Amino acid sequence: MSLDPFDFNGLDPAQTVKVLPRHLAGPGPADVRTAWPFPFDMDWTLQQPDQGTAFTVSPCMRLWTSFVPEPDKSSKGTWTTAANRVPFGQEVWRITFDATTPVELLHDVHAELLDLYHEDLHSDRDRLFEDDTAPPDAYGALFRSGWSHSVKTNGTQTFLSPDGLGGVRHQYATDGSHELAWRAWGGYLSEPQWQARFSFDTPTTLVAALTASMVSTEPLSRTATDVPVHNRPHLYLATATPKQPPSFPLAAPPPPGRGPGRNR
């Protein structure tokens, strides 16, 4: 895909653009059905009031996710996913995303979570709690995409995007005083635009889903007005769709073909 630096000046605010890199595209619409690709017609519970917290629970009641909007905070709210071994039992692991996280990244993590859930249903494994994915599977995509890597003696390693405006930090050694195993962000670490946090015991497979989504070359669609102003100098235009006036077709269009499958 050929990418060109893009100047947003003079662009119609309602025009749709497709941009990269993903970690700077902005959150997009806070739509729970986009963030949570769960089969709500198959016993997954969804509570979504007009305002306030949205909540979903798996049929086994070992997984739950929530979205708490907080428009007055810089994070605009929190997406949370957690797991417990038995219904209503003690929480084993937790993931949180700022509401300013690109919603497509949340979708890819939750789609991987659903895959793990279905795999556990049809096997004698329990990857939701005993995942055997090694950490290199989570940061291999970052190496392949040219992210830098540094290691500190405090047991952390940090990966930074080529533009310096995205990162992933792994706490690979702990003395028991740390709660987070992984942290990802967009923007500068000192003042991130969004953050994702993974507690210890979170399946590394879910971290790998996030890192793969962050470096994916599939662009994200945003209206020009939804792209954060301070990110615009760092974004590349993949394709642009001009704003079209309303039209009335003379005949019904043919049915759409099958779209491409999800790639992670």
The predicted-structure confidence for 189-245, as pLDDT tens digits, reads as follows: 999 999 999 999 999 999 999 999 999 999 999 988 888 888 888 888 875 444 444
Give the pLDDT score at 124: 86
**What value does the mean pLDDT of the chain take?**
87
Give the pLDDT score at 228: 86
Give the 3-state secondary structure of residue 237.
strand
pLDDT in tens, 122-162: 888 899 999 999 999 999 999 999 999 999 998 999 999 99
Cβ atoms within 10 A of the Cβ of 54, count?
21
Q: What is the mean pLDDT of residues 1-28?
A: 77
pLDDT at residue 102 above 50?
yes
Q: What is the mean pLDDT of residues 11-30?
A: 88
**Residues above pLDDT 70, as percent of the chain:** 85
- The alpha carbon dihedral of 180, 182, 186, 190 has a sign of positive
- Of 92-96, 134-138, 250-254, the one with minimum mean pLDDT is 250-254
Residue 142 is encoded by which pair of tokens? 């970052």
Give the pLDDT score at 176: 59
Give the pLDDT score at 34: 96
**Residues above pLDDT 90, as percent of the chain:** 67
pLDDT at residue 252 above 90?
no
Side chain identity, residue 126: D
Whole-angstrom Cα distance, residue 36 to residue 128?
17
Give the pLDDT score at 173: 79
- More confident call, 104 vs 189: 104
Give the pLDDT score at 3: 52
What is the CA angle 258-22-24, rounded to 5? Answer: 150
pLDDT at residue 254 above 60?
no
Q: What is the mean pLDDT of residues 49-67?
A: 92
Give the pLDDT score at 11: 72
Give the pLDDT score at 216: 96
Name which of 263, 223, 237, 235 is nearest 23 in CA terms. Answer: 235
